[in-house]
Amino acid sequence: MHNFDFVKPSSVADAVRALSAEGAQALSGGQTLLPTMKQRLAAPAVLVSLTGIADTKGVSLSGGALSVGGATTHAVVAQEARKHYPALADLAGGIGDPAVRSRGTIGGSLANNDPSACYPAAVLASGATVITDRRRIAADDFFQGMFATALHDGEIITGVLFPIPEKAAYVKFNQPASRFALTGVFVAKYGSGVRVAVTGASANGVFRWTEAERALSASFTPAAIAGLSLPSEGMIADLHGSAAYRANLARVLTGRGVASAH
């Protein structure tokens, strides 16, 4: 890969300043960024590591919601979210493999918004709030298509606030080589209704399946969505699965999510 200047600030303010440099790029766990840089698909002049900022790490309860620091690793979420939001812990514990989970972070995953990443499904289905160094962004406004988010240049995700549902589940059909979601569905049941977010399926990235949400809000049973179908237009098609396959998989996984929600 091309060389760069490496800096590792210990406060959010210093990180924001460092990111204002020409060609600067934020580095969190690096589990996507390093392979991308090795392929020379990214060549930052300055890399600003965000993993040295202590107050953006950790999981805590905050007014009935679960607060997860932006630089919290998947391994820590898998462990510490378990008793508060088990479906979120399940999701974090199923990303990649143990060594990836030791490094990869929730903030890095959300900022990248890979169309097959797991975390965007949890954030969107939970109606979570993404907190940055300068503002709060509702999940419904955050995700803006494949690898696109509402973040401005140099804006840092410092945390995510998850309302805790009555019950929820994340069901992922693994792409067996990468262990990204070939398709994954997060189902979350709140007093105000059910939210369903699908990742890995649409070429536009994570999306809400509103038709299923309406049906499940009326009756939270697999049977409620058995007769629904997602259109295959706009779905990802590759050697692992056709667009129609993914559309069907999203429906099947939604049913499994409802059945296994806890």
- Find the shortest distance in angstroms from Cβ 75 to another protein: 7
CB of 53 to another protein, least distance (A): 13
User: C-beta of 97: minimal distance to another protein in Å?
Assistant: 3
Element (H, E) at 130: strand 129-132
Pick 107 or 165: Cβ nearer another protein: 107
Whichever of 22 and 97 has its CB closer to another protein, that residue is 97
End-to-end CA distance of the chain: 44
Q: Which is nearer to another protein, 37 or 236 (CB)?
A: 37
Q: Are 76 and 57 in contact (CB under 8 A)?
A: yes
Helix 243-260 vs helix 210-218: crossing angle, to nearest 10:
30
CB of 25 to another protein, least distance (A): 12
Contact (Cβ atoms closer than 8 angstroms) between residue 49 and residue 6:
yes
Diameter of the chain by CA atoms? 56
Q: Which helix (H) or strand (E) holds 79?
A: helix 74-80
Q: Which residues bind another protein (CB under 8 A)?
A: 1-6, 8, 27, 30-31, 34-35, 37-38, 47, 49, 51, 75, 96-100, 102-103, 177, 179
Q: 177 or 239, CB closer to another protein?
A: 177
> What minimum distance in Å lies between the beta carbon of 144 and another protein?
27
Residue nearer to another protein on the CB measure, 179 or 214? 179
Do the beta carbons of residue 215 and residue 235 sit within 8 Å? no
Please say which residue, 44 or 241, places its beta carbon nearer to another protein: 44
Query: In 176-186, which positions are buried (b, 16+ CB within 10 angstroms) versus exposed (e)?
Result: eeeebbbbbbb
- With b for 16 or more beta-carbon neighbours within 10 A and e for fewer, the 4-41 pattern comes to beebebeebeebbebbeeeebbbbbbbbbbeeebeeee
Q: How far is the CB of 6 from another protein (least distance, A)?
A: 4
